[in-house]
Amino acid sequence: MKKYFFFIVAAVVGVGGYFWLQQPGDNSDSSQLNLYGNIDIREAQLAFNGSEHIAEILVQEGDHVSKGQLLARLHTELLEAQLAGAEAAVEVQRQVLARLEAGSRPEEIRKAEAELQAAEAQAKTERDSYQRMARLLEKKLASPQDEEQARSRADAAAAQVKAVRATLALLRAGARKEDIAAARARLAEREAALKLTRQRFIDASLYAPADGVIRNRILELGDMAFPQSPVLTLAFIDPVWVRAYLPEPMLGRVRPGITAWITTDSYPGKRYQGWVGYISPTAEFTPKTVQTPELRTRLVYSVRIIACNPEDELRLGMPVSVSIELGQTGTATRPCGS
């Protein structure tokens, strides 16, 4: 009977000790804090910035990809035609502007000068003819009608000289500055349209924004892609972080930036260096309005421990243990981005 009583007492003491150890205590005398959590990673839903049928997907689920790697393409036949038309329009307007800025060709100016000389010679001939006709009219050797016709031909020749001289002045002066400015503005407009078309052509290809692993192929060949419809899910594997919970009494002894060590059951004996990257400013749950000392010690705060994962050993959801040496004064060395 005493033997059974001894076993019952031992069991009660063991269970009570276990639950007492599970309660978050002060830990003010401990030099190391142990936390438990799970690996978390960032993910991105990758989509095309355009609407068209998918022509090609170059990756499979589980593939490791590098930043800038081509992942998928849309059909681009229509975009190629639009791009060719925009490039041709830019070239046409560029030549128009070049012609206006260059002004008249020397050959055009020499031609106008020759036309002016011919017009002046014709005007002199008609003027002399009119003067002779006027003298003949005074001597009654010509009719008034002949004199009137000669004067009209002389006036017309003089007007032609003025017209040719004005044309020559315009050729020498070149295009108006307003016309050049308008042509330059039209060129800028067409270059902007070309840039937009080129960007649409670039957007028809989907590239990896960072190193990672393809988790899901959401759309397949022939599906219609939209900017609102993800095509692939990309998991960023480096860095990763541990999502754990910090007891309220430890808030004054743990701060962002200090070193932490991470261990897993999958790789016994291997430690991963990390650092405390974030501590939540609020408790994870709301306690009762009246807080006793016992309730206050049960408050927990979400904490994020950043770790590098160059060998892709830390996977999403993996349970891990985190140890933090308390009393650190410096900050952790960060070999990978936070």
Q: Which residues pair with 306 in a beta bridge?
A: 241, 275
Q: Name the least confident of 20-24, 140-144, 298-302, 326-330.
A: 20-24
Strands of the sheet containing 52-57, edge to edge, are 205-207, 70-74, 52-57, 224-225
**What percent of the chain lies above the pLDDT cut of 90?**
39
User: Across 4-18, 23-37, 172-186, 276-290, which has the greatest mean pLDDT?
Assistant: 172-186
- What is the Cα–Cα distance from 164 to 156, expressed in whole angstroms? 12
pLDDT tens digits, 276-308: 998 988 876 644 444 455 555 567 888 999 987
Show the tokens assigned to 328.
């650190």
Does pTM surpass 0.85? no
Q: Which residues pair with 119 in a beta bridge?
A: none
Q: Are residues 56 and 72 in contact, defined by beta-carbon separation less than 8 angstroms? A: yes
Show the tokens assigned to 90.
């830019």
Give φ, ψ of 87 to 5 degrees: -65, -40
Q: What is the mean pLDDT of residues 192-210?
A: 95
Q: Which residues pair with 324 in a beta bridge?
A: 33
- For the chain, list the strands marked E by DSSP: 32-46, 52-57, 64-65, 70-74, 205-207, 212-217, 224-225, 232-247, 259-264, 271-279, 300-307, 319-325
- What is the Cα–Cα distance from 251 to 281, expressed in whole angstroms? 10
According to the model, what pLDDT value does residue 51 have? 93
Show the tokens assigned to 236.
């960023």
- What is the Cα–Cα distance from 283 to 248, expressed in whole angstroms? 8
Q: Name the least confident of 19-23, 39-43, 77-81, 216-220.
A: 19-23
Q: What is the mean pLDDT of residues 256-271?
A: 90
According to the model, what pLDDT value does residue 136 have? 76
Q: Model confidence at 19, in pLDDT bands (50, 70, 90)?
A: very low
Which among 66, 2, 70, 13 is positioned nearest to 237, based on CA atoms?
66
| More confidently predicted of 136 and 90 | 90
Show the tokens assigned to 224.
């219609």
Q: Are residues 38 and 317 in contact, defined by beta-carbon separation less than 8 angstroms? A: yes
CA-angle at 238, arms to 233 and 244, nearest 5°: 95
According to the model, what pLDDT value does residue 334 have? 61
Other CB atoms within 10 A of residue 77 CB? 9
List Cβ<8 Å contacts ≥24 apart for 91-100: 93/183, 93/186, 93/187, 93/190, 94/187, 96/183, 96/186, 96/187, 97/180, 97/183, 97/184, 97/187, 100/174, 100/175, 100/179, 100/180, 100/183
Show the tokens assigned to 212.
């990672």
Residue for token pair 């002016």: 116
According to the model, what pLDDT value does residue 293 have? 54
- What is the Cα–Cα distance from 260 to 303, expressed in whole angstroms? 12
Q: Which residues contact 245 (CB under 8 A, 6 or more apart)?
A: 35, 37, 284, 300, 301, 302, 303
How high does pLDDT run on average in the chain? 82
On the question of pLDDT at 269 being above 90, the answer is no
